[in-house]
Structure 1
Amino acid sequence: MGEPVKLTEIWRGDRIESLHLGHAVICEPGGEIVKAWGDPEVVIYPRSSAKMIQALPLVESGAADAAGLTSEQLALACASHNGAHIHTDRVAHWLTDLGLADDDLRCGAHMPADPVAAKEITCSDAKPRQVHNNCSGKHAGFLTLTRHLGAGPEYLEIDHPVQVAIRAAWEDLTGEPVRGWAIDGCSAPNFASSLHGIARAMAFFAGARADADNPRERAAARLRDAMAAHPELVAGEGRACTGLMRAMEGRVAIKTGAEAVFVAMVPEKRLGIALKITDGATRASEATIAALLVRLGVLDPDHEETKKVLNAPIRNWRGTVTGHIRPVQGLTG
């Protein structure tokens, strides 16, 4: 396995204080690597960055149309949301439409990241519900597919028809067999793949056409376009996914994953991006994905949302700028 390379620098004053190393790949739909940093064949868990692959059987099978799902619900199926009302109310209504309830989810409950929703729960002495889980939209999608397939309720089991369908789609889009699997934070199986394979899958989404003859391609285009159309549902206020997609005005769909994974789908160039920061630092994955999007000419380096993560100031408790988060020289092009 190749060694990770320097991708993001942390400056304090005029000195580099810390470095974040990692791997990154830009890929075409056929699997051809356009540019790579570090080892493109490094095997990782994509975590939540690849939710659009997990949602693919939901659309391709006809389950989404049979349930009358909207583009907002498809965006939530790919989301790691903040648990704000715009997220939880939609998921709760989705479950009601299925004749299901919060207890039918299998993602577990946690406090929402949204400060307003968190304050409401704390001040009311209530407890968070599973719809507050950042992955509840994905799990509502799993339940929709489960209902469509007439399968049992334990949709997270590795041999459940939902997970079997996801694995088949995963291997097709990455162009390689799954390299193993582990349990994600939301309790769903997470399939290990090479970074190259994940970038190839993102390039498939990037190049997919809504009017294609291939139903898988049409499904991929719908999910990609839903994410780009509803960035506020994919993550939430204050999040890099939402801010950067807004800055690109629907031209690109991006998604973060735990432990500093990030992916992007760039339709106008038919390119996919996948990256992994080895120490799991989110600040570095956000800076790196922004740098690569600037490199491809689809993100304005001077946009206010870009400047929140790329060459972003580091401030102390008094608000004094003490340093910056910068991409390594040459990364932006």
Structure 2
Amino acid sequence: MTNPVDLVEIWRGDLRECVHQGHAVVCDESGQIVEAWGDPEALIYPRSSCKMIQALPLLESGAGAHLTDEQLALACASHQGAAIHTDRVRAWLRDLDLTDDALRCGPQVPSDKDARNALIRAGDEPCQFHNNCSGKHAGFLTLSKHMGAGAEYHEIDHPVQQACKAAFEDVTGESSPMFGIDGCSAPNHACTLHGLARAMAFFASAGDRNDTRSQAATRLIQAMVGHPDLVAGETRACTELMRAMDGRVAIKTGAEGVFIAIVPEKRMGVAVKISDGATRASECAIAAILVKLGVLDADHPAAKARLTPSIQNRRGITTGQIRPVAALA
């Protein structure tokens, strides 16, 4: 067992004031480790970074054959509740002859400022379709209806979640030792960081294969890179960095410092876990690795905003900087 290593530093003047440690793995299409920092066998919950895995049964079953790429992007999304997200989820529910009550993700105040202010002005409360995971849950409902299964699609023993677990264990190449309940009430299965990177490499090389699971993976990645605004939203790292890479790479964040990347042109998958869960560090680390792999231009404004962002005080004075450690640079 290897301890976490320094990945991201916070500097104030000439003093390294803070350091974020963690683990990171890059895998090739065979599942072998190309490069690693920290412990590849560290056990983690992928959280929302694995939504494309959870969406595999939706396509494999035929339940999602009629879905648009926009809907599939939302199935993989952690969106911020902007109108472009919620309008589409509500329409998806109508297509299923369902209402907000059918969702099991819980209500959430939108992260999108305009949507949040509109709710406040109208005196309305947020609904479940505002939840950042509502697209994933609309996918679960679509699969559950196709299966003729019960309403509690989020329960661990429900056919939907059993299908998700089977897909998860297949693409990670591991038997998950445990699960936790995610923020949206769905199960989230544990795996090693190596397993998560292996799964992302499976997605990255899926275009080389013709089996049903690989075809589903290819379509999901195409949906993500084709609609980066639906995967997250304006100002968000997932959206801005995918745009910066012109659709060549799919990336997805997860809570508690997790970030993945799928790099089809190199048939590689990347997984990052920041031990203290800091988003600023996971964004910096994934950007640094993408630059290191040659798929992200370090001088692109979206890259610079994550790689080496300045820290400013209340008066707008630059007081420090976030940056990756030399081993990632």
- TM (norm. structure 1) is 0.98
- The answer to whether the 8 A contact 1:86-1:233 is kept is yes
Aligned: 1:247 with 2:244: yes
Aligned: 1:262 with 2:259: yes
Deviations 1:85-122 (A, max 9, x none): 00000000000001111100000001000000000111
- The answer to whether the 8 A contact 1:79-1:233 is kept is yes
Q: 2:153 aligns with which of 155, 165, 170?
A: 155
Cα shift at 1:187: 0.2
Write the distance in 1 (CA, Å) between the matches of 2:322 and 2:82.
Answer: 28
Amino acid aligned to 2:54: Q
Aligned: 1:331 with 2:328: yes
Provide the aligned C-alpha RMSD in A: 0.8
Number of the residue aligned with 2:112: 114
Q: 1:293 aligns with which of 290, 309, 313?
A: 290
Number of the residue aligned with 1:54: 54
Write the distance in 2 (CA, Å) between the matches of 1:213 and 1:192.
Answer: 28
Structure 1 stretches of 4+ with a deviation exceeding 4 A read none
Three-state SS of the structure 1 residue aligned to 2:225 is: helix
Cα shift at 1:297: 0.2
Three-state SS of the structure 1 residue aligned to 2:307 is: coil
Cα shift at 1:317: 1.0
Three-state SS of the structure 2 residue aligned to 1:309 is: helix
Three-state SS of the structure 2 residue aligned to 1:308 is: helix
- The answer to whether the 8 A contact 1:29-1:201 is kept is no
Cα shift at 1:330: 3.0
Write the distance in 2 (CA, Å) between the matches of 1:101 and 1:258.
Answer: 27
Aligned: 1:229 with 2:229: no
Amino acid aligned to 2:244: A
- TM (norm. structure 2) is 0.99
- The answer to whether the 8 A contact 1:41-1:195 is kept is yes
Deviations 1:38-90 (A, max 9, x none): 0000000000010000000001111101xx21000000000000000000000
Cα shift at 1:179: 1.8
Q: Which runs of 5+ in 2 are unaligned?
A: none
Write the distance in 1 (CA, Å) between the matches of 2:6 and 2:273.
Answer: 12
Q: Which runs of 5+ in 1 are unaligned?
A: none
Q: Percent identity?
A: 65
Cα shift at 1:213: 2.3
Deviations 1:192-246 (A, max 9, x none): 000000000000001111x732010000000011101111000001100111001
Write the distance in 1 (CA, Å) between the matches of 2:291 and 2:162.
Answer: 37
Matches within 5 A, 1:19-58: 19-58=19-58
Three-state SS of the structure 1 residue aligned to 2:184 is: coil
Amino acid aligned to 2:252: K
Q: 1:314 aligns with which of 311, 314, 329?
A: 311
Q: How many residues align?
A: 329
Number of the residue aligned with 2:177: 179
Matches within 5 A, 1:37-116: 37-65=37-65, 68-116=66-114
Write the distance in 1 (CA, Å) between the matches of 2:116 and 2:143.
Answer: 30
Amino acid aligned to 1:175: G
Amino acid aligned to 2:210: D
Number of the residue aligned with 1:280: 277
Write the distance in 1 (CA, Å) between the matches of 2:33 and 2:210.
Answer: 26
Write the distance in 1 (CA, Å) between the matches of 2:19 and 2:291.
Answer: 21
Three-state SS of the structure 1 residue aligned to 2:323 is: strand
Three-state SS of the structure 1 residue aligned to 2:146 is: helix
Three-state SS of the structure 2 residue aligned to 1:152 is: coil
